[in-house]
Amino acid sequence: MSAKSFELLLDTAYAPEKPHVFEGTSTAVYQQLEQALKASRLRQGNPSEEVGFRFERVRLGVAIAIIKAYARLADNEGAKDALALLLEAANAKNTREIDKIIQKKIALFDNLYHEIFVNEQREHLLALFEQTLDAASKEEIDELILEGLETLQEIDFEAAQHDEDDDEPLDEDFLKSIK
C-alpha cells in the first residue's frame, strides 16, 4: 500500500473540495506510520507508543474519508457532527489525546445510523467505517483504503444529491390506486 492511495482516498471523499484533515499532508501521515513501523522492526521490540499513535492517525484518516463520503450521500446532521469530532481527533498530539477527544462525544456515532433507510451505498459506507474502527494492523487498514477507494469511485455523488433533492412525499391517491 502506498501513501498515494491514502491521499487519493481522502481526495476522492472530499472532491471537488480539497481535504484539510491533518496539519501536514496525508501522504506524510502515512509515511510516518511506515517509518515508525520500520524503526520498531529494527529495534526488534514491541510496538512503541509512536507506532500506535501513527497507526491511529492513519486509521482516523480512513474513518474521516468514509464518514465524509457518507455525509455527502446522506446529508445527515449526525454525520457532520461525527466528521467534526474525527477531524478534531486527527489533530491530537498522542494516542491518549485522541481517545479523550473521541470518548467525550462517542454518542455522536450512534446518530450515523439514523436516516439510512434502504440505501446500499450508505449501509456499505457504515460497514466500512465499522471495519476501520476494528482494524488492528497496517495490513487491515491498507485493505480498507483499497476497498474504500473502490467504493467511492463507484458512487455518483452528484446523482445521489439530486435524488435527495427530488424526494417528495408520494401522492396518497397514487398509493391507493396501485393497491
Query: Tens of pLDDT along 103-145?
Result: 999 888 877 776 555 578 888 888 899 999 899 889 999 999 9
For the chain, give every domain's residue range: 3-177
Tens digits of residue pLDDT in 151-163? 998 887 776 555 5
Q: Which band of pLDDT confidence, cut at 50, 70 and 90, is reported for residue 165?
A: very low
∠ CA(74), CA(75), CA(80), 5° rounding? Answer: 105
| Cβ density class 99-136: b for 16+ within 10 Å, e for less | eebbeeeeebbeebeeebeeeebbebbbebbebbeebe
Pseudo-torsion of CA 163, 166, 167, 173, nearest 10°? -130
The whole-angstrom separation of Cα 108 and Cα 114 is 11
Within 22-168, strands assigned E span none
Counting residues of the chain whose pLDDT is more than 90, the rounded percentage is 44
Q: Is the pLDDT of residue 99 over 50?
A: yes
Q: Which band of pLDDT confidence, cut at 50, 70 and 90, is reported for residue 29?
A: very high
175 vs 70 pLDDT, higher one:
70
pTM over 0.85: no
Q: What is the mean pLDDT of the chain?
A: 83
Residue found under cell 468514509: 66
User: Cβ distance 78 to 112 under 8 Å?
Assistant: yes
Lowest mean pLDDT of 38-47, 87-96, 111-120, name the range: 111-120
The whole-angstrom separation of Cα 3 and Cα 118 is 34
Give the largest Cα separation in the chain, rounded: 74
User: Cβ distance 69 to 152 under 8 Å?
Assistant: yes
Counting residues of the chain whose pLDDT is more than 70, the rounded percentage is 83
